Amino acid sequence: MRQEKEILALNAFDPRSLDGSGGAHRPAVDRRLRSFGTSSVLFYRDPIEMVRAEGVWMQDAQGRRYLDVYNNVPSVGHCHPRVVDAISRQVGQLNVHTRYLNDVVDTYAERLLASLPAEIDNLVLTCTGSEANDLALRVAQAATGGTGFIVTETAYHGNTAAVTDVSPSSRPGRPLASHVAAVPAPDIYRAADGDAGGRLAAAVEHAIADFASRGIRLAGMIADSIFSSDGVYADPASFLKPVIATIRAHGGLFIADEVQPGFGRTGDALWGFERHGILPDIVTMGKPMGNGFPMGGMALRRELLEAFSAQDKYFNTFGGNPVAAAAGLAVLDVIRDEGLVENARAVGAYFRQGLREIANRHEAIGDVRGAGLFIGLEFVSDRAAKTPAPEIASGVINGLREHGVLIGAAGAYGNVLKIRPPLCFSREHADMVVELTDTVLRELHA
């Protein structure tokens, strides 16, 4: 039976464990819970108090360093000096909303749009990816006259009310909103025919027909091209083409959520959708674009924005502020100057090969997949049956934490390690993770 988990519950600390391994952190945890209550989510069986970070490393209050293989937010590396300097200089000069002209804001908009296909020629800047996706849904509805959206079964796209509706992983066990349809993720690991695109397109066609039978008009589909929350599905690289053709044949739009696969992470290009050879109608962005400074954005075709603006007016006080723009410009500069897209491609391929080599020694590793520095490592209890093993994934996550490596989980069952380190990750770092994963698996089965 399918046992889906809420995305925030994967690898979450359980306060009831305070009398056990978490006891050493009781004062700090109690302090957090007093202020944040049940909304507080901490990582690991034994939480960590972090105080410092640099590059691919984080440091706790006791001075121990951890290799960060989980955090895609500091895309070019924790506390990158060029990003820190850009933010510091700008915040000491001017920070205001976009109703005044400002060179750094307009330069950033031009640079960002220049990195996208020419057809994507307008931009709206927000503070978060959730806001960007919320706005993208509104634009799609205004442009198409439809209300229905298609997503994958364990998708996550943010936390506003509208975006939570299209994030099934945020509401496990609850029925979807009537205007939302969920289709299976493009899982080629378990699919017999290997035709990920054909199967996904057929599922989309079925969802559209179901909408029509209920009098719901299609607005579009939103997906991230690495299907990160579904368990990381990257290949074959062209499988989204028939899906988009189906969406457009029925008058819908395709929204590419690039919060996780964007900014060079997949290693083939700056944008995750590019490796599929597709042209989205709307592109949304978030956390990595400012290397941790809060910012988000929506890029789209001019006529779509005009259709929306004719009905609704949108203004975001802090969206696109000069400090955010300065951070964004620095991130684009670092990605270019340090060759981080190519680094993601080369180190990612090397990393996946290393994980496949230890899979020869560990039956619990069912699959190694991904693109660039976005890798999924799936654990199973039976290779032949491909039975999900979330208990092994949890053991590896917490075992790696004990060995100084931070990592998280994904997928409907929480049995896939979601590996997405900062883009400055090196082969040396990859070797460390591979060796320690091997060690932890040996310890778990000793």
Q: Where are the domains of the chain?
A: 7-76+340-444, 81-337
CA dihedral 341, 346, 351, 356 (to 10 degrees): 130
CATH classification number, 81-337, choose in 3.40.718.10, 3.40.50.2020, 3.40.640.10, 2.60.40.60: 3.40.640.10
Neighbours of 357 (CB within 10 A): 12
Mean pLDDT across 300-313: 95
CA neighbor of 324 nearest in space, from 289, 300, 359, 358? 289
pLDDT at res. 21 = 46
- Superfamily covering domain 7-76+340-444: Aspartate Aminotransferase, domain 1 (3.90.1150.10)
pLDDT digits (tens, 9 = 90+) for 212-244: 999 999 999 999 999 999 999 999 999 999 999
Q: Spell out the residues 6+ positions from residue 427 whose beta carbon is closer than 8 angstroms to its own.
A: 347, 350, 351
Residue with tokens 């999900």: 388
CA neighbor of 423 nearest in space, from 163, 107, 72? 72
Is the per-residue pLDDT at 393 higher than 80?
yes
pLDDT digits (tens, 9 = 90+) for 403-425: 999 999 999 999 999 999 999 99
Look over the chain and give the mean of its residue pLDDT values, rounded to a whole number: 93
Is the per-residue pLDDT at 286 higher than 60?
yes
Q: Pull the structure tokens for residue 247.
A: 């969406």
Edge-to-edge strands of the sheet including 50-54? 50-54, 57-60, 65-68, 405-406
Q: How far is the C-alpha of 30 from the C-alpha of 408, rounded, in Å?
A: 24
pLDDT digits (tens, 9 = 90+) for 50-76: 999 999 999 999 999 999 999 889 999
Residue with tokens 């005009």: 306
pLDDT at res. 40 = 73
Burial class (CB in 10 A: 0-12, 13-18, 19+), 361: exposed
pLDDT at res. 2 = 47
Is the per-residue pLDDT at 1 higher than 60?
no
Q: Spell out the residues 6+ positions from residue 286 whose beta carbon is closer than 8 angstroms to its own.
A: 128, 129, 130, 132, 158, 259, 295, 296, 297
pTM summary value: 0.92
Is the per-residue pLDDT at 105 higher than 90?
yes
